[in-house]
Amino acid sequence: MRRKRKRLTSEQRTQIFNKTNQLCGYCGCALDFKHMQIDHIEPFKQGGKCEFGNLIASCRSCNHRKHTLSIEDFRTEIEKSLIRLERDYPTFRMARRFGLVVVNPEPVKFYFETLEELL
């Protein structure tokens, strides 16, 4: 039997929106309530539940990129971005050489991981 996603009320969406201070739970960019997307931290297709603790406000680009990836797979994909940029984009390499881009090869930490009350 196929599981169905729970439809969220406006009040539930507001609680999820406020859970991360009205910022994307992944990248930390400012969100507009109207355009916010709700993501399952543990993907729904991998058994993640439609409950408050597993739902997070997300910007469209993070939600689209994460898709059905686990948190650790999403983190790995983002960390690979520097390798891909360096390998595939001469403009990126030139901007880096001229100091227009500063590479920061630190491990990716999602915004929600910095919020003590969510951990």
Tens-place pLDDT, residues 33-91: 999 999 999 999 999 999 999 999 999 999 999 999 999 999 999 999 999 999 999 99
Q: According to the model, what pLDDT value does residue 6 have?
A: 80
Which comes out higher in pLDDT, residue 11 or 7?
11
Q: What percent of the chain has pLDDT over 70?
A: 97
Please tell me the pTM assigned to this model.
Answer: 0.86
Domain ranges of the chain: 10-118
Q: According to the model, what pLDDT value does residue 2 have?
A: 72
* Of the options 1.10.30.50, 2.60.40.290, 3.40.50.300, 3.40.50.2300, the CATH number for the domain spanning 10-118: 1.10.30.50
Q: Identify any residues that bridge with 40 across adjacent strands, giving them in sequence order.
A: 55
